[in-house]
Structure 1
Amino acid sequence: MTPLTSPLHERHVAAGAKLADFGGWSMPIEYAGGGVLAEHAAVRTGVGLFDVSHLGTVTVRGVGAAAFVDACLTNDLARIGPGQAQYTMCCLPDGDPRAGGVVDDLLVYLHGPDDVLLVPNAANADDVVARLTDAAPSGVTVVDRHTEIAVLAVQGPKSAQVLSFLGLPGELPYMSFVTGTGGGSAEVTVCRTGYTGEHGYEVLVEAAPAAELWDVLVDVGSDEGLRLCGLGARDTLRTEMGYPLHGHELSHDITPNQARAGWAVGWDKPAFWGREALLAERERGPDRLLWGLRATGRGIPRPGMAVLDGEGHRVGTVTSGTFSPSLRTGIALALLDAVAGAVEGAELAVDVRGRPQTVEVVRPPFVPSHVR
């Protein structure tokens, strides 16, 4: 099946991007003239521009739309108001053999009680839309706009300067959004969020004028040293923060409790998909937990590698692993068996191609976060 392409595909080709299939979309992994390490550094110290249009966009509208979404997804929408966004999860419902497992993690943009925008992951957008459509009450409409809206991310300490041409408030609070005009072009929605651990913004715009907005951002950002960034740097940045990636730290077989994402669950809500299974697991304690691992040698942990105790027994599995450009060493996220009794500072090993490589158990983030 031919991958879908972003509205910015021609811009990526012209910039010498290395493209690869990501969730069914042909997306830039890195750009010519620097690669992942340079792009990662730009976001940590200056500003980077990402195309993340592979992310889904789903409108849920009608009387009681927000209440409907709240009864399906894990987090408590009562915690936020219009103009704010919230991280949440869509879990498998009670009665499913894997109830409480995560179908997807996503952002909710709350416009009002009758108007919600969801931003799911590329590979799971169709599943989320189908589940919400099947459950929607009369008068509530779920519309998949995945190919109609582009999503850009401006991330880094200088991101506010780059987006100043949109006329944003000087101190847009974290996880809040506003509407602007893209420097005189199409209407855009700008949210102070991101997936890098740096001060940053995600910008949603209709597909047709997305290339014009991209060009404006590149032009305005030139004075701030803006660098185009691909999904390779996005992955190293999010791993340094310990942010989960669906299919790695969250999945149908990995619950929010196991992934230490219980903070995104409205435990006191009367209803959400998977509620009873997750409450029961929380009460008895999950049988595995997500930890960070920092290599003390030269080996780089990779997903699927075994985590070993001091006697060589397998006590867990690496879910994400990479070379940390900031720390100049290998780092990983791993699900460790609760019975192994892992604690911060403990020494374990990762089986790197048949050779045990020593790692230290840590609590992410691996580097300081600057999102708030």
Structure 2
Amino acid sequence: MADELLRSPLHERHEALGAKFAEFGGWSMPLEYAGERGGVVKEHTAVRTAVGLFDVSHLGKATVSGPGAAAYVNATLSNDLAKIGPGRAQYTLCCDDATGGVVDDLIAYYQDDDHVLLVPNAANTAEVVRRLTEGAPEGISVIDQHRDYAVLALQGTSSDEVLQAVGLPAGHGYMSFVESGFDGAEGVGVVVCRTGYTGERGYELIIENDAAPALWDALMAAGQSFGIAACGLGARDTLRTEMGYPLHGQDISLDVTPNEARLGWAVGWSKEAFWGRDVLLEEREQGPRRRLIALKATGRGIPRPHMGVSLTPDVLIGEITSGTFSPTLKQGVALALVSAGIDPEAELGVDVRGRREAFQQVKLPFVDTSVREQ
């Protein structure tokens, strides 16, 4: 792995588990693990049926603080913080003011009116911080803490029991968080938020770097009786794709707007101000020229990003943005950005290595986890 890549404070733990590493947003992170419970499919299945533990410390961390910090964040990012309150988290978008394109999607932790914690994507943290810093009024500070904190994601049906076994809070409402002490690191606090990127019940935990190894060890030890598996970012990708969750840099980007990506639910349309508001309102009224759709293979084709999508063999309408083999469904699934106005009942073709494979348009999610308590 190249020397310039950043390393998680848990890197040695991953090496000990035989992790295969890959580059993610400038970080060397585990893609999958060796061993009896290792490999993308086994790790994926552990989350769907039991519990898995991910290191997602490559995710950004930034704090916005000062008098009226929450109001400032609300006037810049897309979603409406006024709809939630302290102790709640919210999915939101940082959009470009001129084009409406998505600079990044992130989670905002509303601590109080004067403190908001933001968790952007690894590759976009510096840009989000730069934009917020440039626009900040006097008295508001924006601090990049990307390398100060680790983030662990405990996901799966047994996640509550594992957290309780290590003395951390569990069972709070979806998209809410609790700040707690951790017995394994005296004087160190942990932010425990009931959210995740898998569609399963789960939690994301933010903790200071130095205390992260002790928390990882405690969770792995407590989870053994529940079938816990250390999970890499390969499984995280198959899990989020089964849910239809977008990935920045593939499904959303500066070239893709929230309207095109069907993320209008994450926009506070009635707010007086947020970056990109005017252009996005106009696009919403006129209708976007492209739409993100969900596709499921009717045969054995496995879609991958950038494969062409066609209405007929001679009419190309877009391309795959995210595509994979679904370990749960045992078939290919994909998100694709295509021309707007395509008949939702039309069978589409995907160019899989020079062969046109048939795909049907479906509604998200591909895998329905609503039968399990969220």
TM over 0.5: yes
1:348 offset after TM fit, Å?
A: 0.7
- Alignment-derived partner of residue 232 in structure 1: 234
Q: Which moved further from structure 2: 164-173 or 193-202?
A: 164-173
1:162 is matched by which residue type in structure 2?
A: V
Contact preservation (8 Å) 2:77, 2:92: yes
Q: CA deviation at 1:310?
A: 2.8
TM normalised by structure 2 equals 0.96
Give 1:299 deviation, angstroms. Answer: 1.3
In structure 2, which of residues 4, 18, 22 is the aligned counterpart of residue 16 of structure 1?
18
1:183 CA displacement: 3.4
**Equivalent of 2:96 in 92, 98, 109:** 92
Q: In structure 2, how many angstroms separate the alpha carbons of the residues matched to 1:180 and 1:163?
A: 12
Give the C-alpha shift of residue 300 in structure 1: 0.6
The range that moved more, 270-279 or 176-185, is 176-185
Bigger mean CA offset, 208-217 vs 345-354: 345-354
2:58 maps to 1:54: yes
Aligned to 2:142: 142
2:249 is the counterpart of 1:259? no
Structure 1 residues 346 and 168: alpha-carbon distance in aligned structure 2, compared to 1, 3 A threshold: farther
Alignment: residue pair count = 366
String of CA shifts for 1:91-110, please: whole Å, max 9, x gaps.
0013xxxx100000000000
Alignment-mate amino acid for residue 343 of structure 2: A
Displacement of 1:369 after TM fit? 2.8
Aligned to 2:109: 109
Give the structure 1 partner of residue 124 of structure 2: 124
Residue 250 of structure 1 aligns with an amino acid whose one-letter code is I
1:189-200 to structure 2, matched below 5 A, reads 189-200=191-202
For residues 133 and 170 of structure 1, what CA distance do their matches in structure 2 show? 34
Counterpart-to-counterpart distance in 2, 1:183 and 1:35: 32
Q: Distance in 1 between matches of 2:166 and 2:230?
A: 19
Which residue is 1:154 aligned to? 154
CA distances 1:189-243 after superposition (whole Å, capped 9, x unpaired): 0000000000000000000110011000111111111000000000000000000
Partner SS state of residue 27, structure 1 = strand
Q: For 1:279, what is the secondary structure of its paired residue? A: helix
Q: Which runs of 5+ in 1 are unaligned?
A: none
Q: Distance in 1 between matches of 2:28 and 2:297?
A: 32
Secondary structure, aligned partner of 2:153: strand
Q: Secondary structure at the match of 2:147?
A: coil
8 Å CA contact 1:166, 1:181 repeated in 2: no
Asked whether the equivalents of residues 53 and 155 of structure 2 are also in contact (C-alpha less than 8 Å), the reply is yes
**How far is 1:179 from its partner?**
1.2
Give the 5 Å matches for 1:1-372.
Answer: 2-33=4-35, 34-94=38-98, 99-165=99-165, 167=167, 171-185=171-185, 186-339=188-341, 341-343=342-344, 345-370=345-370, 372=374
Displacement after TM superposition at 1:342 (Å): 3.1
What is the TM-score with the length of structure 1 in the denominator?
0.96
User: Does structure 2 retain, via aligned residues, the 8 Å contact 1:166–1:180?
Assistant: no
SS in 2 for 1:323: strand
User: Which SS does the other structure have where 2:75 is aligned?
Assistant: helix
